[in-house]
Structure 1
Amino acid sequence: VPGVEGRAAGLFLLDLWLSRGRRASEVLAELQAIAGPSYYNRIDVRFSRDEYPAIKRDTLARLQDEAPTELGGRPVIRRQALDTGDGFKFYRDDESWLLIRFSGTEALLRIYVEARSPEDVETLLEEGRRIATAAAAPA
């Protein structure tokens, strides 16, 4: 997990390892036994700087009005608009999610995914790429 959240998560894990006096692999195995496996990935999709403002505006409006009802063959049970106003997070019924967020400093769309298997991660990344491709297609 990048950024401040990643550093905080790392410190919490370090504290957990030290307080239990166990190897990291043992603690991670215990956490997976409790919560199940979790896989994560992120990709960036770049756009032309000239077209970016219109792509961003149109895609956000489309996702607001016509949010996907399924992703990768599973139903979307909740859509959450980001507090920053630059994207959405879509939750599937299996607790996996897809987050789409436009950059405020670069002409790119960030696609974040978390799922229970590497295959589901790739499926959701492809769904995110599909949304990005639709964003760049002429109307």
Structure 2
Amino acid sequence: VHETPIGYKYIADRMLETDVLIGGEESGGIGYGHHIPERDALLSAMYLLEAVVQSGKDLGELNQYLRTQTGFSGAYDRIDLPLASLDVRDQLLTQLKEQTPQTVAGKAVTDVLSIDGYKFSLEDGSWLLIRFSGTEAVLRLYSEAATLDEVHKHLNWAKDWANSVS
């Protein structure tokens, strides 16, 4: 697994640098390493139809099969939090750099990846990403966890953290 900054251009660069089978982004864009280094919805649709035909399963059954095979059973959500100004953004960035949180919503932080914002990997395998928009005064909060309730706990923790700093 290769993690890149947000934006498909970074995924495409990685696909050109190394042997990558598949690359994807949150918005649903998927590209294939053996094809062109760009998102290709038509090829994705053809692969999906091929999987349905060859397996004899419907999409729900294929989804369940993949979750069983990979062990993935998580939930995901995101919040865009408007900031009063870019000064607030700078305050939050300083806080993240100088006093990086060691816990998120009561869970220990096991790793911090800061290639595009701050992604906190948590002790239970879940994560929270705090990232700033490159074009507007907006804080983007992303989380993935076993349940939607856990995701919302992470996002609410991040909102409370941001409001306490600004």
Shorter-chain TM-score: which interval?
0.7 to 0.9
CA RMSD of aligned residues (A): 2.2
Kindly provide the amino acid, as one letter, of the partner of residue 131 in structure 1: W
Task: Provide closer, same or farther for how the CA distance between residues 128 and 19 of structure 1 changes in structure 2, counting only shifts above 3 A.
Answer: farther
Amino acid in the other structure paired with 1:39: A
* Aligned residues with identical type, % of pairs: 32
2:83–2:89 contact (8 Å) kept in structure 1:
no
Deviations 1:88-135 (A, max 9, x none): 110101111100111111111010111011110110011111122123
Tell me what 2:160 maps to. Answer: 130
Match of 1:47 in 2: 83
Tell me the residue number matched to 2:137. 107
Kept in 2: contact 1:58–1:135 (CA 8 A): yes
Structure 2 residue 120 is matched with structure 1 residue 90: yes
Identify the match of residue 25 of structure 1 among 55, 60, 63: 60
TM-score, scaled relative to structure 2 = 0.68
Which runs of 5 or more structure 2 residues have no equivalent in the other structure?
1-6, 9-24, 32-40
1:36 aligns with 2:72: yes
Q: Which range moved further: 9-18 or 60-69? A: 9-18
CA distance in 2, matches of 1:104, 1:24: 36
Q: Which runs of 5+ in 1 are unaligned?
A: none
- TM-score, L = length of structure 1: 0.80
Corresponding position: 1:71 with 2:104: yes
Kindly tell me: are residues 29 and 102 of structure 1, through their superposed partners in 2, closer, same or farther at Cα, counting changes over 3 Å? Answer: same
Q: How many pairs does the alignment contain?
A: 128
Amino acid aligned to 1:28? N
1:16 Cα deviation from its structure 2 partner: 4.2
**Structure 1 position 19, deviation (Å):** 4.6
Q: Which of the pair has the greater relative contact order for Cα pairs under 8 Å at 6+ separation? A: 1
- Give the structure with higher Rg (CA): 2
Distance 1:17 1:93, change over 3 A: farther
Report what 1:8 is aligned to.
30
Check whether the contact 2:102–2:109 (CA below 8 A) recurs between aligned residues: yes
Once the two structures are overlaid, the 10-residue window that deviates more, 62-71 or 11-20, is 11-20
Q: Match for residue 3 of structure 2?
A: none
Question: Aligned partners of 1:75 and 1:112: how far apart in 2?
Answer: 17
